[in-house]
Structure 1
Amino acid sequence: MTDLEIYRKRLERIEELLSELSEYSGRGAIIIVEGKRDVLSLKRLGIEGNFELATHQSLFNFSEKIARLGNEVVILTDWDRRGDILAIKLSGYFQSFGLKPELEIRNKLRLISQKEIKDVESLYTYVSKLRLKTGYCSKRDFQ
């Protein structure tokens, strides 16, 4: 498999995951990230919706507040050590409140981009580079 084929496959998989994330968002799911730059990166990738930052309050209180809303929850913390710990703790709290959070998107993004990037805020730049390398670019990639 050539480098170009590898890049195309990665881009295709990431685009599928972004589409899935967009579907969750369209259904009113709450997307949990770590910081404002994560939100900006996702918005630049076309993901709109209800974003919540998990790093500005006690995780237990945060989880309880989100669980009360009754919406689906997507945990999209970074795939570094801190993000892993946050995802595990949040998942445990949500489950204790009767919610099963979506973690597969995060886990798959981690596997696909593991050696290239380690956080959500870098996702937009990474996708833009893959689009450039594969010849698939949109105007939005250069704004």
Structure 2
Amino acid sequence: MYLENYKRFEAIIDKLREFEGAIIVEGARDEASLRKLGVRAEIIKLSRLPLPEVALIASEYDEVMILTDLDRKGEELARKLAWYLEGYGCKVDTETRRELKMIAKKDIKGIEDLYSLYLRVSLRFWPPEEGI
């Protein structure tokens, strides 16, 4: 990852930390990765629930961010979820996922890898001072 993309990546992480709606992810590892990054928003996992039910649960929030994995399956899930959520009148953020995919797809496969990528690139671009 280049420095320019790292700065964009850091901005995404900051956005996730400040997000006050609900975030939809595929599973428990995705949630764990986001929690390690300091995300405090409500996280709704897709695992074991039908998409319409997930959308209904998420529709209780003013804004919903879809963070499915960056592969083809994740893309299809994101598209379907956005359709359901927009039907409920939700404000849906798919842009964060799209931007993350643009800058980090070569580095990660899914949301569960975000925390490890964050650690790797943070050390690469901002190594700790000696003695710390």
TM-score by length of 2: 0.89
In the alignment, is the contact (CA less than 8 A) between 1:41 and 1:124 conserved in 2?
A: yes
Which residue does 1:79 correspond to in 2? 70
Q: 1:129 aligns with which of 100, 115, 120?
A: 120
Query: 3-state SS of the aligned residue for 2:91?
Result: coil
TM-score by length of 1: 0.83
Instruction: Output the CA distance in 1 between the equivalents of 2:79 and 2:126.
Output: 37
In the alignment, is the contact (CA less than 8 A) between 1:44 and 1:124 conserved in 2?
A: yes
CA RMSD for the aligned pairs?
1.7
Instruction: Output the CA distance in 2 between the equivalents of 1:85 and 1:137.
Output: 40
Instruction: Output the CA distance in 1 between the equivalents of 2:115 and 2:28.
Output: 14
1:55 paired to 2:50? no
1:99 paired to 2:90? yes
Unaligned runs of 5+ residues in structure 2 are none
Instruction: After TM superposition, list the pairs within 5 Å mapping 1:17-36 onto structure 2.
Output: 17-24=12-19, 27=20, 29-36=21-28
Deviation string 1:78-121 (CA, Å, 9 cap, x unpaired) is 11111111100000001111113101111101000111112001
Instruction: Output the CA distance in 2 between the equivalents of 1:9 and 1:115.
Output: 15
In the alignment, is the contact (CA less than 8 A) between 1:31 and 1:73 conserved in 2?
A: yes
Which residue does 1:3 correspond to in 2? none
Q: Could you say which structure has the higher helix fraction? A: 1
Query: 3-state SS of the aligned residue for 1:122?
Result: helix
In the alignment, is the contact (CA less than 8 A) between 1:91 and 1:100 conserved in 2?
A: no
Instruction: After TM superposition, list the pairs within 5 Å mapping 1:109-124 onto structure 2.
Output: 109-124=100-115
Percent of paired sites with the same residue: 34
